[in-house]
Structure 1
């Protein structure tokens, strides 16, 4: 016999929802079969069978569960006889309503008949939220994802004493280098891709910026530059992670970000794609945004913010007025781990890398070899 245990899916949620069993109670399964789906506030995660045997459900579809809970078992040999605690699959014509969805519907005064009218086989919390929004013009109901964001923001402000610094960067050369890369590889490459590459390259020189504070005496240093990038395309805030970004070329970073943007449009991220960041780049690069100071996410030491690009007139070395494109890059950091001098040194090195972008665009670029 082997237990089906709920894994830790993210740091934002204390509980998840078993949205459905994909294989019926009492049915045979093989190792690697997808047997159930669990929903977090950000993504749906499939669970697979760890071995061959007969699947027994321990909780019903729609129930809440937590990391470490046993939600079912894979039984072999004599153990395959039904157990009293097993919960059979729920047959019938009516859709399955998850427990969080049922509770939210009760809060909003939405009847079960209205939920059945949605015409979907599984009704989740987000379906209830959408139904509530469609029937009301005077109020706005926060989605489960937004409520998770609110919890993280509150935890950050409550537990992390943050400090702030910003630096102005001339990005003319970086933008030109990005355009050249895009033309050469037929991919869109922009300033964010170069900032990710520059940040990742600073892990060895500035390890505390990529650290996670354990206690008053200790911080864990990241073994790789896993860079999270904020994406909000109207379907909620997501922070997918570019794993091992220091080993990626700018073009590879561009390809991965493009794929993440597609997933952000419909919230199709796997839980694994949203985990493991050591540092975060918050994109506030609308042309009218001059400065941004996002929160430090719990478990991180700092977050870097890229503001919009603007044109300024500056004096060159010969006192001639020249136009330059400028972007402000800021860092918000946990002052218990990083001091102001360290944060400024990190920003200066980031500025140096972006103002001389040849090393960023050539390292690992097949076309430059």
Structure 2
């Protein structure tokens, strides 16, 4: 289908545009010749689907759900509740999460990893480089280097029978230091050393403290690593970001007898990936982290 003088829109993309109520003007503004379903998913996640409120205080959200004062959970006189505005960052997170749940048939599996060698390697690198290197940096590197053997884990679904596989892995990483959740992207992570990845991630943490990211630093991810640092967290199930196929979660290392272990979880789009391949992917990560030497990183 054509959108005026704009790009060609595939049938799956048009169906999602209609389903989510995406503004056609925003579709026409995309800098692509062909708009595919993954483009619409990213577009919908980046901007609200909420329409302008009509007079009288009633607003329409998404596809006809009406919210009026006095509904359960609404703030107002006598309700015992007070209104509190959400930040722009939190609203963006909410849109991405909602769209993920609406459009991605996700599955999840996890593996327990003995990270003793990896933690020791990170400490050794920290001493040698005089720069903080941690388990997340090693995991990001390990994930990126699986791009060649597991290309669909980095792909975007184009339509029911086609996936778009990127030439290089661009790994998004969740950072939340209390000023909002950000997912900056380490581009071409498969060609970078652990030290280079650690340097970029350290700079991203500094930017997260003051919310100083540029748009290009947050765009273009092909897979996400979500970090869950708090002690006592035993499992985390990440969402799959719209336009991607997978998200990898890492919990904080914890002592288990004589071992130091962490749980690495994988959420995956079942339209692209089956359980057997998910297990093979996690086993490959496990083997890499459990056998990590400090030399050559």
Identify the TM-score tier after normalising by the shorter chain: 0.7 to 0.9
Aligned residues between the structures:
229
Residue number in structure 2 paired with 1:251: 195
CA–CA separation in structure 1 for the residues paired with 2:283 and 2:229: 20
For residues 175-234 of structure 1, the C-alpha deviation after alignment (integer angstroms, 9 at most, x for no partner) is 000000000000000100000011011110111111111110000112101100001111
Query: Which structure is higher in strand share?
Result: 1
Residue number in structure 1 paired with 2:246: 302
CA–CA separation in structure 2 for the residues paired with 1:332 and 1:307: 14
Residue number in structure 1 paired with 2:221: 277
User: RMSD of the alignment, in Å?
Assistant: 2.2
CA–CA separation in structure 2 for the residues paired with 1:262 and 1:285: 17
Structure 1 residue 66 displacement after superposition: 4.9
Q: Does 1:226 align with 2:170?
A: yes
Q: Post-superposition, which runs of at least 4 consecutive aligned residues in structure 1 deviate over 4 A?
A: 65-69
Residue number in structure 2 paired with 1:174: 118
When residues 304 and 203 of structure 1 are mapped into structure 2, their CA distance, relative to the original with a 3 A threshold, is same
When residues 68 and 327 of structure 1 are mapped into structure 2, their CA distance, relative to the original with a 3 A threshold, is same
Q: Quick one: which of 191, 208, 216 aligns to 1:264?
A: 208
Which has the greater radius of gyration?
1
When residues 161 and 67 of structure 1 are mapped into structure 2, their CA distance, relative to the original with a 3 A threshold, is closer
CA–CA separation in structure 2 for the residues paired with 1:286 and 1:164: 21
Q: Does 1:356 align with 2:296?
A: no
Residue number in structure 2 paired with 1:190: 134
Gaps of 5+ in 2: 1-21, 30-51, 58-80
CA–CA separation in structure 1 for the residues paired with 2:186 and 2:231: 25
Residue number in structure 2 paired with 1:329: 264
Q: Does 1:288 align with 2:232?
A: yes
Q: Does 1:343 align with 2:278?
A: yes
Q: Secondary structure at the match of 1:260?
A: helix
Residue number in structure 2 paired with 1:236: 180
Residue number in structure 1 paired with 2:108: 164
Q: Secondary structure at the match of 1:181?
A: helix
Structure with the greater relative contact order (CA < 8 A, sep ≥ 6): 1 or 2? 2
Structure 1 residue 362 displacement after superposition: 4.0
TM-score, length-normalised on structure 2?
A: 0.73
